[in-house]
Chain A
């Protein structure tokens, strides 16, 4: 089945120690998104890629970076995690950026703990 895969599902890191979260997709979608979701809150968009074109949200901290080496994979790098970065990180894809109800398909998420 076509899907969005996130690894690992649970990640523990230390304060200030760089960490990378991984997302892959078999949908061959052009757009990939990263969201941060804190406990009991709605997901918050960090950035997205349209193909190789990177789009950062205005309020995304510089601590968060992303790479998309090819269509299938996208990585979220947190350069120096703080305690406030503990959250669920959701990857999503969509076929295009706009159009008739271009829905986003979500992966299962990676829950990040910062010690």
Chain B
């Protein structure tokens, strides 16, 4: 069974500083990988995804993530945090071969400090 690990439920970052959210997965074969963002009382919005090809993926709002097969990781970064980045971020994986079930990490609540 697939699983996703996101360490540190709350992440504080200063405005203008680097945002780094870590995601590691456990899967017998490399899965599809996703990052979602959730603003308060809203649904999940897709930030970016990795399916195949280039391992550095660029998403919306200036975010990007790099798939590293050797490290089973898909860490999310943004060079310069903005106040509007305060939200919850979920890493998720789904099986390439199967039923499109998403396995979510526990999420990171990002707080941006002015």
Which positions 16-59 of chain B face chain A at CB distance < 8 Å? 32, 34, 36, 41-46, 49-52
Q: Does the CB pair A101–B44 fall under 8 Å?
A: no
Q: Which among A6, A42, A104, A105 has the greatest number of chain B C-beta atoms within 10 A?
A: A42
Q: Does the CB pair A100–B100 fall under 8 Å?
A: no
Among the listed stretches A69-77, A78-86, A90-98, which one makes contact with chain B, having 4 or more residues with CB under 8 Å of it? A90-98
Residues of B within 8 A of A45 (CB): 101-102
Q: Main secondary structure on chain B at its contact with chain A?
A: loop
**Minimum CB–CB distance for A108 against chain B, Å:** 5
Q: Does the CB pair A100–B45 fall under 8 Å?
A: no
Residues of B within 8 A of A88 (CB): 41
A18-61 near B? 1/0 per residue, CB < 8 Å: 00000000000001000000001111010000000001000000
Q: Does the CB pair A108–B43 fall under 8 Å?
A: yes
**Minimum CB–CB distance for B2 against chain A, Å:** 13
Interchain residue pairs with CB less than 8 A apart (7):
A6-B43, A40-B107, A43-B104, A92-B43, A96-B100, A103-B34, A111-B41
Inter-chain pairs besides A40-B9, A100-B52, 20 sampled, C-beta below 8 Å: A42-B90, A42-B104, A42-B107, A43-B104, A88-B41, A90-B44, A97-B98, A98-B95, A98-B97, A98-B99, A100-B32, A100-B51, A101-B51, A102-B32, A102-B94, A103-B34, A103-B49, A106-B43, A108-B41, A109-B43
Question: Which of B's residues lie within 8 Å of A, judged by CB?
Answer: 9, 32, 34, 36, 41-46, 49-52, 90, 94-102, 104-107, 109
Question: Which of A's residues lie within 8 Å of B, judged by CB?
Answer: 4, 6, 9, 31, 40-43, 45, 55, 88, 90, 92, 94, 96-98, 100-109, 111
